[in-house]
Amino acid sequence: MNSSKEKPRLIIDMDEVLADTLQKFLFLYNRDYGIAMDIHQAPGKELHENLPENLNGQWKIYAHQKGFFKDIPPMPGAIETVRALHDHYHVYIVSAAIEFRNSLEDKLDWLDRYFPFIPWTNIAFTGHKIVIGDIMIDDRVKNLASFSGRRLLFSSPHNLLITGYERVNNWQEVADLLL
């Protein structure tokens, strides 16, 4: 933990936390295959597990396309809340972006567009999130499991059955807890 003179380090994930990646996938599945935007997503399942079997691998094709990550809408309340958190914390954006090579440039451009107050020195694109901080907000337990600080699980359909973590359902709840 940091000394009282130093701001705590807050690590924030991008996909399904800052960026509404799920909406982008739904938009593309709707556009290309007529899948309803409000498709029922069984708790604990990934989006592609709720789709017809012949579309199971399509999400990877979408995610590998140049520009996929560039125009994802921000999560409601994310910009305002992160801007307020920035006054009280050293905010770091950490995204497992290496798997999708085109996402590196797209995600950097996206952050510059929506979160220009986060300096480039506080952005890390990685494969595994082996990071040190005081608080981490992520939707993936695999990223939170080995984190030694306070762990906030950001709700997404795929993690709704997971227990044992402090859960936040939206950015207002993050603000209520951390501001």
Beta-bridge partners for 90: 9
Question: Pick the catalytic residue: 15, 106, 134, 138?
Answer: 15
Q: Which of 13, 20, 138, 139 is catalytic?
A: 13
Residues with Cβ < 8 Å from 45, sequence gap 6 or more? 157, 158
Q: How far apart are CA 125 and CA 144, in angstroms?
A: 16
To the query of whether residue 13 is one of the catalytic residues in this protein, the response is yes
Q: Which of 39, 101, 114, 102 is nearest to 73 (CA)?
A: 114
The verdict on whether 32 is a catalytic residue reads no
Q: Measured in whole angstroms, how far is the alpha carbon of residue 147 from the centre of its chain?
A: 16
- What residues are annotated to the active site? 13, 15
